[in-house]
Structure formats: structure tokens, C-alpha cells
């Protein structure tokens, strides 16, 4: 049975949605795009001086919690992938990613932020629906909503266990499978998370399109599809 691969997107990321629908192989995976109104992001995105541009935005974690509850209620304990929308999918994904779904002792797998540090980036994750994972992700959800945190900080605070064990068994993906510009060590990859400079929404989006092109994944046809639907690119 194919593994569900969820991601959220808005009008601003519509070209990446079209890209992922085209590139995610439907033999081992089922791409599950979750459309979110752009206004949900714009309320907080780049709005809080001195904070990460993505702080206070709980949409991704909200959906992880929802999916976990629905699966557990329905008796579905199959793991699922959840990624950001701004990722590139290489041919190596078909070979390498399914291996992680078979590691039944690990509750969550995370993208590695740096080569020499144990820091998790939630840009690409694998979550197993069991009795441990809902409490962890609900805690992250509370941090974002009640403490105005950014999801990555909450996740790493909880994984590091300053107030006790995280409550889940977790690991980091090998960077030969899931990587970014900070961790890539070989030509081929399964998933490449496009990072940005956190400068402004226009500059960051342009950085993503440029990086996709540099990695051999031009976005032109997907941008054209978005323009055909929206009339213009949403920055």
C-alpha cells in the first residue's frame, strides 16, 4: 500500500503544489496536498519583528494532530510523511524513503538541520500513528498557539528533553536521503529542502525558484500553471 505524503500549500506556493503532484511517484507514495487560505498565513507571516518569520503559525502541526487523531480513531497505524511544500523530489526518493516506513520502533523521523549537530528540521518528517505521537505533537501545537513559538524551536526543545524525556522515540533521516543546502553531501538525493535567507517574502520566494533551477528542477511550467489559475503569481 502506498504511503501517504502530506503537505500544506497556499496560493503563494501553488507552483510547488503542481510540482509535487507531478514529481511524487504514485507507486510508493500518495501525494496529499492540503490547500490552506493564504490569509491564514499572512496574519502572522513576516509580521513579528525579532521573531522567525514563521513563528506563531500552527497550520502544519494542526494538520499533523488532526491526521493522527483520525488514524488512531479508525485503527490505522500506518506511518505517513509530512513535508513543507518548498522541497525538491529526486529519483532516489523511491528507493530510499520507503525503508524508513519499515522501522517500526521509531515514532518520528526528522530532517537533519546541520551535519554536525543533532537538530531536527520539520521540513520533512515521517510520523507513525501510535499511542505516543499525539501527545508530542499536541504539545508542539500548544507551544505555537499559547507561547507564540516557531514549530522548529518547540520541536527541538521537546526533543532535547530539558524538562524530561520527549515521550517519543525519534531519529534523523540520513542526509543521503533527506537533505538541504546545509547538509547535502552527494549529487543524488531523495528529498532536497529548499532553504531561504529569511529576508522578505518576495526575496525568499525568488531564492526558492532560483535554487530549484540550480538543482535541475526548473519551476517554469508550474509557475505557468499557477498563473493560468490565479491570473498572476502571488508573492
Q: What is the pLDDT of residues 89-132, one digit of tens each?
A: 999 999 999 999 999 999 999 999 988 888 999 999 999 999 99
- Contact status, residue 79 vs residue 2, Cβ threshold 8 Å: no
- Contact status, residue 212 vs residue 194, Cβ threshold 8 Å: yes
CATH class of 3-230: alpha beta
Closest CA to 60 of 39, 85, 77: 85
- Contact status, residue 84 vs residue 193, Cβ threshold 8 Å: yes
Q: Is the pTM of this model over 0.85?
A: yes
For 117, the grid coordinates are 549537530
Residues (pLDDT < 70) of the chain are 41-56, 162-164, 197-199
Q: State the Cα–Cα distance between residues 65 and 179, nearest whole angstrom.
A: 25
Going by the DSSP 8-state scheme, the letter that residue 132 receives in this structure is S
For 26, the grid coordinates are 504514485
- Contact status, residue 149 vs residue 143, Cβ threshold 8 Å: yes
What was the pLDDT predicted at 55? Answer: 55
What was the pLDDT predicted at 5? Answer: 98
Rounded to the nearest 10 degrees, the angle between the axes of helix 220-230 and helix 14-23 is: 130
What was the pLDDT predicted at 203? Answer: 83
Paired strand residues for 82: 6, 125
- Contact status, residue 86 vs residue 122, Cβ threshold 8 Å: no
Structural element, H or E, at residue 165: none
What was the pLDDT predicted at 41? Answer: 61
Going by the DSSP 8-state scheme, the letter that residue 80 receives in this structure is E
Amino acid at each position: 500500500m502506498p504511503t501517504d505524503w502530506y503537505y500544506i500549500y497556499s496560493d503563494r506556493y501553488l507552483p510547488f503544489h503542481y510540482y509535487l503532484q507531478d514529481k511524487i511517484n504514485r507507486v510508493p507514495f500518495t501525494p496529499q496536498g492540503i490547500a490552506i487560505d493564504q490569509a491564514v498565513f499572512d496574519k502572522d507571516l513576516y509580521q513579528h519583528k525579532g521573531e522567525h518569520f514563521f513563528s506563531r503559525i500552527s497550520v502544519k502541526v494542526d494538520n499533523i494532530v488532526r491526521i493522527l487523531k483520525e488514524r488512531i480513531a479508525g485503527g490505522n497505524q500506518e506511518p505517513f510523511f509530512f513535508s513543507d511544500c518548498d522541497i525538491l523530489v529526486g529519483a532516489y526518493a523511491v528507493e530510499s524513503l520507503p525503508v524508513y516506513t519499515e522501522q517500526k520502533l521509531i515514532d518520528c523521523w526528522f530532517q537533519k538541520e546541520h551535519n554536525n549537530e543533532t537538530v531536527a528540521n520539520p521540513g520533512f518528517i515521517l510520523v507513525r500513528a501510535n499511542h505516543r505521537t499525539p501527545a508530542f505533537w499536541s504539545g508542539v501545537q500548544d507551544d505555537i498557539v499559547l507561547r507564540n513559538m516557531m514549530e522548529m524551536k518547540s520541536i527541538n526543545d521537546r526533543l532535547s528533553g530539558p524538562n524530561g524525556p520527549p515521550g517519543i522515540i525519534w531519529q534523523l533521516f540520513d542526509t543521503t536521503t533527506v537533505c538541504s543546502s546545509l547538509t547535502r553531501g552527494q549529487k543524488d538525493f531523495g528529498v532536497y529542502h529548499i532553504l531561504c535567507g529569511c529576508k522578505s517574502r518576495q526575496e525568499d520566494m525568488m531564492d526558492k525558484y532560483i535554487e530549484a533551477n540550480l538543482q535541475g528542477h526548473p519551476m517554469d511550467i508550474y509557475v505557468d500553471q499557477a498563473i493560468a489559475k490565479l491570473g498572476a503569481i502571488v508573492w
